[in-house]
Amino acid sequence: MRTRWYGKNLKPFLIILAITGGVFAILFAAMKIYYWNVRQDLFRDERAALESAEELWAERRPQQYQLVLQTWFQGIGFSEAENPCEREYLVIGQQVNQIIEAQNCNQMFGSVPPTIEELFDIANKYLLPDNCGYNGCVCDGPIDSQVRYNTTLGYPEEILQRGFLQNEHWRYTDIDIFSPPFCTLLGTGFINFRIITFSPIE
């Protein structure tokens, strides 16, 4: 039986197509791995400092403490709010036991203020490489997050987000390839935290 002519011509084409597809898949996977790794380098030192502070807090945390926490909503690029929410409260056994006083607070800030452990969780989220503006990492880039810790007990004294890291857009190149060619105009704002006073209770 005679072999059809197009069968002979198609086989080399399929081999070339398979090889090309395999090379493309390898390059694509390598690109994704590379950019994932360079994103993990973002805030690496800050996350290491966070881990050290959490360890210090775990070693020295008091079972009871009272603090005054200032919380405010801040648009990126704007100055701090003039009237931040300020709450004084008591924490016993890692749970808020009593809210002593609250000023300028509304539902935006939640009905129950955070414990120190919850503030650590917030700091950790702020220091992740996918913590970007509302328009996404490709459009806005990562947010410049800053955390300051108490040198004695390790708790976060300030958790702030100040602006965008414009020079770090390149870390999201693999995402950019499959993103829409335009960015929306959504503004970005976040809740920031500052501990005004912290008093361990023996």
pLDDT value of residue 193: 96
- Rounded distance, CA 40 to CA 38, Å? 5
For residues 152 and 95, membership in a common domain is answered with yes
For residues 93 and 109, membership in a common domain is answered with yes
pLDDT value of residue 163: 84
Number of domains in the chain: 2
The label of the residue with tokens 């050290």 reads 52
For residues 5 and 55, membership in a common domain is answered with no
Q: Which two tokens stand for residue 38?
A: 């360079």
Question: 69: how many CB neighbours lie within 10 A of its CB?
Answer: 22
pLDDT value of residue 3: 52
Question: 137: how many CB neighbours lie within 10 A of its CB?
Answer: 21
Instruction: Report the alpha-carbon angle 140-39-54, nearest 5.
Output: 100
Q: Enter the pTM of the model.
A: 0.81
Residues (pLDDT < 70) of the chain are 1-10, 13-19, 21-25, 27-28, 30-31, 76-82, 177-182, 185-186
pLDDT value of residue 15: 67
For residues 13 and 112, membership in a common domain is answered with no
The label of the residue with tokens 């509304």 reads 106
